[in-house]
Amino acid sequence: MKNEMFIEFSSVSENESFARVTVAAFVAQLDPTMDELTEIKTVVSEAVTNAIIHGYNNEPNHKIEISCVLNDGEIDLVIKDFGIGIEDVNEARQPLYTSKPDLERSGMGFTIIENFMDSVEVISKPEVGTTVHMKKQLTNSKTVYN
Amino acid sequence: MGLNYTFSVKEDVLIVRLAGEIDHHESENLRDVWKETMYANSVKHVILNMESVSFMDSSGLGVVLGRYKEVLQLGGEMVVCSVSPSIKRLFEMSGLFKIVRLEESEEYALETLGVAS
């Protein structure tokens, strides 16, 4: 069965928990394990935080979009901002790399996303924005559908 | 949800107990209060009790790393205790256990720092 949802919200840090809880609630219908649900919540939190801090430089008057498609136990998750973009995506994806060390960022956001998802694609253009496209197959549905 | 925290001092050890969710939104305030408490009391070591933390992302790692650097300046040690499996994974992924010590419980962590509980 295919099912999809789309949300759009302001780039304020209060919405980090809103975003991860909302996506987790949508994904819950696939009956994921607790670990999988935590992983999904964590990657949403990381990507939305990146959009707020880096994409929009903490300016509250912008929009972040999340779309999520569930298809035969696979989660297809897209988190998108229309901010300043990333000059060098490969550099940004390096563990411990941060463009904002003064803000006490750990530089682990993308590394965590890569560890928790099956595939991660980062499409970014300076002054246009950043899209993070992630996929994850849930374990219980793998046994059901294969 | 949100994040709650309590601080207590035993001899030269600051015990930080966190409860709830640590994300970017919560981490900025946590950082300020934690920093303030650390310098307002003459402590050397920090025990971070994460027993009641239900969610943490890389913003939480950033706060822990930031306080670790300050504890190092004080010549002390940072000990983390009562960590859930998912948070343990984040610590492992980021290599944080190479610099902060992990112990089972707050009592035992206190003991290892020479404080009788």
User: Each residue of B6-64: pLDDT tens digit?
Assistant: 999 999 999 999 999 999 999 999 999 999 999 999 999 999 999 999 999 999 999 99
Q: Cβ of A38 under 8 Å from any chain B Cβ?
A: yes
Q: How would residue A141 be classed by pLDDT, with cut points 50, 70 and 90?
A: low
Tell me, what's the pLDDT at A146?
Answer: 46
Q: Does any domain span residue B9?
A: yes
Please provide the average confidence, as pLDDT, over all residues in chain A: 94
Instruction: Give percent of chain A with pLDDT exceeding 70.
Output: 96
CATH number of the domain that A23 lies in? Answer: 3.30.565.10
Overall number of domains in chain B:
1
CATH number of the domain that B68 lies in? Answer: 3.30.750.24
- Domain containing B45 equals 3-112
CA distance A48 to A50: 5
CB contact under 8 Å between A38 and B31, yes or no, is: no
Q: Does any domain span residue B18?
A: yes
Catalytic residue among A46, A87, A115, A121: A46
A59 assigned to active site = no
Cβ A92 vs Cβ A75: under 8 Å: no
**Average pLDDT over every residue of A90-113:** 90
Q: Is residue A68 helix, strand or coil? A: strand
For residue A103, list chain B residues with Cβ-Cβ distance below 8 A.
62
Catalytic residue among A50, A58, A65, A91: A50
Measuring CA to CA, which residue among B51, B13, B55, B81 is closest to residue A17?
A: B55
Identify the closest residue of chain B to A104 by CA–CA distance.
Answer: B62
CA distance B14 to A5: 45
Q: Cβ of A3 under 8 Å from any chain B Cβ?
A: no
Overall number of domains in chain A:
1
Within a 10 A sphere around the Cβ of B77, how many other Cβ atoms? 19
Strand partners, B78: B46
CA distance A79 to A28: 19
pTM (predicted TM-score): 0.94
Compare CB distances from B25 to A17, A95, A108 and report the shortest one's residue: A17
Cβ B46 vs Cβ B16: under 8 Å: yes
CB contact under 8 Å between A108 and B23, yes or no, is: no
Q: Does any domain span residue B117?
A: no
Q: Does any domain span residue A35?
A: yes
A140 assigned to active site = no
Q: Does any domain span residue A145?
A: no
Q: How far is B8 from chain A (nearest CA, A)?
A: 24
Q: Cβ of A127 under 8 Å from any chain B Cβ?
A: no
Q: Does any domain span residue A95?
A: yes
Cβ A64 vs Cβ A51: under 8 Å: yes
Compare CB distances from B31 to A21, A35, A104 and report the shortest one's residue: A104
Tell me, what's the pLDDT at A104?
Answer: 87
Placement of tokens 């991660």 in the chain: A120
Q: Does any domain span residue B88?
A: yes
User: Pairing mode, if any, of strands B78-81 and A2-10?
Assistant: unpaired
ipTM above 0.85, yes or no: yes
CA distance B7 to A45: 26
Catalytic residue among A105, A115, A140, A146: A105
Cβ B23 vs Cβ A16: under 8 Å: yes
| Per-residue pLDDT tens digits for A35-61 | 999 999 999 999 999 999 999 999 999
Please give the structure tokens belonging to residue A38.
Answer: 């935590």
CB contact under 8 Å between A42 and B25, yes or no, is: no
Counting every residue written for chain A, the total comes to 146
CB contact under 8 Å between B59 and A17, yes or no, is: no
Q: How far is B81 from chain A (nearest CA, A)?
A: 20
Q: How would residue A144 be classed by pLDDT, with cut points 50, 70 and 90?
A: low
CB contact under 8 Å between B93 and A111, yes or no, is: yes
A50 assigned to active site = yes
